[in-house]
Amino acid sequence: MEILYKNSTIHFSSQGKGKVVILLHGFLENSSMWNNLVEVLSKKNRIICIDLLGHGKTGNVGYIHTMEQQAEMVKFVLNHLKLRKYIFIGHSMGGYVALAFFKLFPQHLKGICLMNSTALADTTEKKINRDRAIVAVKENHKTFVRIAIPQLFAEYNRTILVKEINEVTKEALQILPQGIIAALEGMKIRKDQTSIFKTAIFPIQMIIGKQDPALEYKTLINQTKNTTVRVVEFPDGHMSHIENKNVLIESLVSFVKSCK
């Protein structure tokens, strides 16, 4: 399905009936990353998948797509569908969007799962790396994508999951340079949202890959100390939906059930 938002096309899908679950993909991804999960979750729930700004079949609305702008676009889609209460599952950048959504529209949430994601803002070092990435995208975005995607997997999986990595790369190569840059600029300036772990009155789950090359294990665990956040650890990298597919699906089904 498609709707017009700020003169851009927003692509989304809706399947099933029951509790409403919103699936938000990560950087260099699109809503097709959720296909296996949708098949399972849509049997008992209503699943909404949205292509975020500048990704998949959704257009760009500016040079920077902040996490708040992404969240406002998501709210526009959910208003269009006349939905009022929902659970978010966000992978990586999708998790950042879910956290920004909570800050803007807290009364609508029944649960958040941060999948290979963090509530921390970028460190100074990470911001420098984002700027370097922007330069690389401007020089040759296809080379950037081909280098970036394999680095999201645990090192030992880069030779085991060659077919899957090629498929993810193929999807990512369809993203326009403007969409990649706008997301990098937006992630770079996102705010620290760790206060949600103390203030939220709904279930929060963090899916952590112990060998995640993009997020440091220790900083992920430290965020959840002295909170009620449910932590689920997998042995692999940043791409749990591929590297740990079956156990991830089990974990997400269980999480959705726990959200009242």
What are the pLDDT digits (tens) for 126-139? Answer: 999 999 999 999 99
Mean pLDDT calculated for residue range 55-77 = 98
pLDDT in tens, 171-189: 999 999 999 999 999 999 9
Q: How many other C-beta atoms are found inside a 10 Å radius of the C-beta of residue 124?
A: 7
pTM for this entry: 0.98
Phi, psi of 42 (to 5 degrees): -75, -5
Q: Name the domain count of the chain.
A: 1
Check which CATH number belongs to the domain holding 207 and give it.
Answer: 3.40.50.1820
pLDDT in tens, 100-132: 999 999 999 999 999 999 999 999 999 999 999
Q: Which range of residues forms the domain containing residue 163?
A: 2-258
**Average pLDDT of the residues of the chain:** 98
d(CA 83, CA 97): 18
Phi, psi of 75 (to 5 degrees): -60, -40
Mean pLDDT calculated for residue range 236-258 = 98
Task: Supply the pLDDT for residue 200.
Answer: 93
